[in-house]
Amino acid sequence: MPEFFQLLPPDQARTKFLAEIRASPQPETVPLAEALDRVTFAPVCATAPLPPFTRSTMDGYAVRAQDTFGASSSLPMYLTLAGEVLMGQVPDLELRPGQAALIHTGGMLPRGADAVVQIEVTQKSRDDEVEVLKAVGRGENVLQAGDDVKAGEEVLPAGHWLRPQDLGGLASLGVTPVTVARRPRVAVLATGDEVIPPEAEPRLGQVRDANSYSVGALVAQAGGVALLGGIIPDSFEALKAAAVSALKAADMLVLMAGSSVSVRDITLDVVNELGRPGVLVHGVAIKPGKPTILAVADGKPVIGLPGNPVSAMVSGGLFVTPAIHRLLGFTHPPRAATARATLSHNLESQTGRDDFVPVRLVSRDGALYAEPVFGKSNQIFILVRGDGLVLVPRDANGLSAGAEVEVGLF
């Protein structure tokens, strides 16, 4: 009797899963200086134009452009110095024909001026006079009010990842504090009679819980808050009680579904009792990561990850991360870092499933090579020794040494 009746390709599995999640991001207000890597809750619109007034983009002289027409180094135009524009102040002068005013980068253009002559193409002939050696057109070296942002313009959509430059933009518009999507709380439960917390000393036969920490960090990386719920014994009753209570306090639940079939069966039964519609996907056409369970319980995503540490991370990247992004309302998550490299060894693979092979990047003779990290996928340190994953797609039965591959970095 096969354990899995139908293995879905990962993209189909993900689509089916994400469609059932009830995503309703909640607003949270954070100080601007703490908003890095958060996700906007609502579109942000400018309440005023930027810059708020017409500014010089250069050090030089504010002028009427037409007064400079025809100026050259052999035939300078002489303008009378009407004063200096002080930074941060409205100029107390109005430029009349034939006049110029000293202005600094960012200074406000005085009335009457419509361009700035760069200081490099001027010469100070007398205290009250400046020689212009080059003509400027109207608007030259000037940023008009609203040139950067118009009043009312949507500057950031909802579901936008806040990068350093976005925080600068929000500061310039006075958007502080910022309303971001609250981080989804993701309960993470480990299972296994043999599993103990990392701070405990294992007796013979016991191992420490690694997956709660790697998957918990994956949750944080995706923008969620991991609630580590500890280690649950391998029994239906214990796991069900823990899952029900964890899911009640969280927006999403990740269970380490164990490595043995009997424990995975328990997990499957528990997940099916958590809410509607229950298990959507049981088994994905990937290696490692096949025994993944994707479910939705009354709108909340529930994922059963394989217990194998490599599988848990591969499957977590494919399903845990997008589920958290969906809960955040995160429309355009950042692209993952990748590197192009030459495959150092042949990789065998079966058609019909996506194979993810951990590789190490090695520079040799000026070229970058992707070297498979060999070992059994039960080894926790396979991914620690690796720099990323190479995908052998399901329509290929392997990749040859020397092939150029894209490495998904982690």
Contact positions with a second copy (CB under 8 A) in 176-235: 176, 192-195, 198-218, 220-221, 226, 228, 234
- If one asks whether residue 131 binds a second copy (CB under 8 A), the answer comes out as no
Query: Which member of 24, 29, 378, 397 binds a second copy (CB under 8 A)?
Result: 378
CB of 392 to a second copy, least distance (A): 20
- What is the residue whose two structure tokens read 């394989």? 306
Q: Are strands 77-84 and 129-132 parallel, antiparallel or unpaired?
A: antiparallel
Size of the site for a second copy (CB under 8 A): 97
- If one asks whether residue 346 binds a second copy (CB under 8 A), the answer comes out as no
Question: Binding segment for a second copy among 238-246, 322-330, 379-387, 395-403 (CB under 8 A)?
Answer: 379-387
Based on CB atoms, which residue is closest to a second copy, 68 or 141? Answer: 141
Based on CB atoms, which residue is closest to a second copy, 168 or 352? Answer: 168
Helical spans, DSSP H, in 87-233: 164-172, 211-222
Which two tokens mark 94? 């109005």
C-alpha 234/C-alpha 212 separation (Å) is 16
CB of 164 to a second copy, least distance (A): 4
Query: Which member of 4, 236, 374, 381 binds a second copy (CB under 8 A)?
Result: 381
CB of 165 to a second copy, least distance (A): 4
Query: Which member of 74, 262, 276, 367 binds a second copy (CB under 8 A)?
Result: 262
**Cβ of 46: how many Cβ atoms within 10 Å?**
21
| Footprint (CB under 8 A) of a second copy, residues 150-179 | 155-156, 163-176
- If one asks whether residue 325 binds a second copy (CB under 8 A), the answer comes out as no
Contacts 24+ apart (CB under 8 A), 193-199: 193/233, 193/234, 195/231, 196/231, 197/230, 197/231
C-alpha 86/C-alpha 107 separation (Å) is 7
- If one asks whether residue 287 binds a second copy (CB under 8 A), the answer comes out as no
Q: For 252-286, what is the HEC assignment?
A: EEEEECCCCHHHHHHHHHHHHCCCCEEEEEECECE
Query: Which member of 55, 182, 282, 325 binds a second copy (CB under 8 A)?
Result: 55
Q: What is the DSSP string of 194-244?
A: TEE-TTSPPPTT-EE--HHHHHHHHHHHHT-EEEEEEEE-S-HHHHHHHHH
